[in-house]
Chains A and B, each alone.
Chain A
Amino acid sequence: AQRVTQPEKLLSVFKGAPVELKCNYSYSGSPELFWYVQYSRQRLQLLLRHISRESIKGFTADLNKGETSFHLKKPFAQEEDSAMYYCALSTIYGQNFVFGPGTRLSVLP
C-alpha cells in the first residue's frame, strides 16, 4: 500500500533563510507526487507536482526515485510562506490518493 511520510510536524525558519520540507514515500509502482498547501483560513490548494517540473512561488521539488523522496525547497523563505504543507501521492492513473500528515512551516520575521 502507498504511504507518505513527512517527518517534521513543525518547521520554523527565519525570513530569508533556506527552507526544505521533507517528504518520503513508499509505493511499488511509478507514482505521481504533489505538494499541496493550505494558508491560514484558505482552502487546500495545489502548489506543484513533479511531472510539471516547474517552480511555483519560488518553491521547487525534485523526485528522487532512488531515495523515494520528494522534498520541497525554497532558497529564501518569506513570511507569506507560512502555511501547512502536505505531500501527496497517486498512481499514474490519478487514483489511490494518499496525503502525508503535513508540516506546518512558520517563517519568522
Chain B
Amino acid sequence: EAGVAQSPRYKIIEKRQSVAFWCNPISGHATLYWYQQILGQGPKLLIQFQNNGVVDDSQLPKDRFSAERLKGVDSTLKIQPAKLEDSAVYLCASSQLAVKNIQYFGAGTRLSVL
C-alpha cells in the first residue's frame, strides 16, 4: 500500500512570500489532516477534512493560512504571506473513515522562512 505523499520535501522562502504544500493521502482514506510541527514541539493540528468538508479548523490562522481538498482526495495548504514564525515541518496525515483514529503520516515538508 502506498503511503501518504507530500511535496515538496523542503522549501525556503523569504517573509511575505507565498508558499503551497501538496498532499496525496492513502487511497480510500476519507479523513485528511494537516499539522504544523515547530522544532522541539509536538504536531499541532491545523485542519481536519472529512472527504472534502472541513471537520475542524479551529487552530488554522485563517488570515494567512488556507487549505482545500477538492474532490475529497488530495489537498493543498497555502500560506500567504509567510512570517518568520511559520518556519516548521508541515505534516499531512490520513485515516480511513471507519477506523479514523489510526493516522498515517507523510514525510512532511520542511519550511524555512528567512
Contacts and interface: CB of A to CB of B under 8 A. Distances in A.
B82 interface: no
A96 B56 contact: yes
Nearest to A4: B42
B105 A45 contact: yes
Interface residues of B, number: 26
User: Which size bracket describes the interface of A in this complex?
Assistant: 20 to 34
Contacts of B33: 97
Interface in B33-61: 33, 35, 40-45, 48, 55-56, 58
A13 interface: no
Given A43-B3, A86-B42, A86-B43, A97 B48 contact: yes
Contacts of A100: 42
A90 interface: yes
Interface of B: 3, 31, 33, 35, 40-45, 48, 55-56, 58, 91, 93, 95, 100-108
Interface of A: 4, 32, 34, 43-46, 49, 86, 88, 90, 94-102
| 3 pairs of A and B residues whose beta carbons are closest in the complex | A99-B42, A94-B100, A44-B105
